[in-house]
Amino acid sequence: MEYIELGKTGVKVSMIGIGAWQASGKSWGQDVEDDKIVGALIRANELGINFIDTAEAYGDGHSETVVARAIKEIGRDNVVVATKVHGGHLHADDLVKAAENSAARLGVKEIDLYQVHWPDPWEQVPLRETMKAMESLYDRGLIRAVGVSNFSVRDLKEAREHLSHVDIASDQVRYNMVQREVEEEVLPYCRREGITLIAWSPIAQGALTGKYSTAHKPSDDIRRGNKLFNDANLAEISKLLQVLREIAEAEQKTVAQVALNWLTREGDVLPIPGAKTEAQAEENAGAVGWKLKADELKRIDEVLSKLKISYYPRPV
């Protein structure tokens, strides 16, 4: 397993992590079982994956309790644990309580990376208040690093202005082969500033595994309403999958492994695919430790440049 630095913290994290959104309950499908997810987290760690990401919003804290079971088996010193404060808990007092509760559910004295899950567009809590509270948690020793999630460049800039002696280590955003909006501003900014970009939904909720098509769509609550899985978008994605299958066969990898490896090609993006089973954890770990060839990257770029993904009309 290869490792990269998390922002400028000095903390080393595996080039690929594992997300625990799937440990929210049955919203990800009837095949979700806590015991199997714990097994997947443990197996991932055995293969060198030391970064686990969760959030208090995932199953109202349930995901954190599942992750805690894995941490207990893995050993606290062998894992970098990241969690996120709900976007509705950004007032200072609420944020502190949320961090304390997350630490308790995780069974840890210190959260390695604590992230603001999303900026607050409803209560309009000033970022100054939120970031000062985050810095107080850092000073207190409850968190080792400050992170954000789903922040634009303007949000990042403002948030950093309100931190006096600690910087933002990471921005966790949606990023995969067919959802590349962050390449316009967020990714270049993070690269310039030494902020790690953590990629959630790195295989587009399974659309880049080759498992789904216009004739076979996901039926779980999370993905059923995702416009990415409409007929037009799946038809577009099928053009990419054709190329990915050919590359996967040549490299003796899976389609998902090729899609994940593409994200790590520059060495500064940390994808966090989920895993419901040990087999999926093993597949994720096999996505790194090798590199796509120049001609393969060129073929991928050519097909990506022609893809047309649309989310119109969105449900009201």
- Catalytic sites, residue numbers: 58
Q: Which two tokens stand for residue 208?
A: 């880049």
Number of H helices, E strands in the chain: 11, 10
| Dihedral Cα 66, 67, 68, 73, nearest 10 deg | 100
Identify which of 245, 261, 249, 253 has the alpha carbon closest to the alpha carbon of residue 303. Answer: 245
Beta strands in 54-186 (DSSP E): 80-85, 113-116, 146-149, 168-174
279: which residues sit within 8 A by CB, 6+ positions away?
none
DSSP characters over 33-49: -HHHHHHHHHHHHHTT-
Decide if 113 contacts 145 (C-beta within 8 A): yes
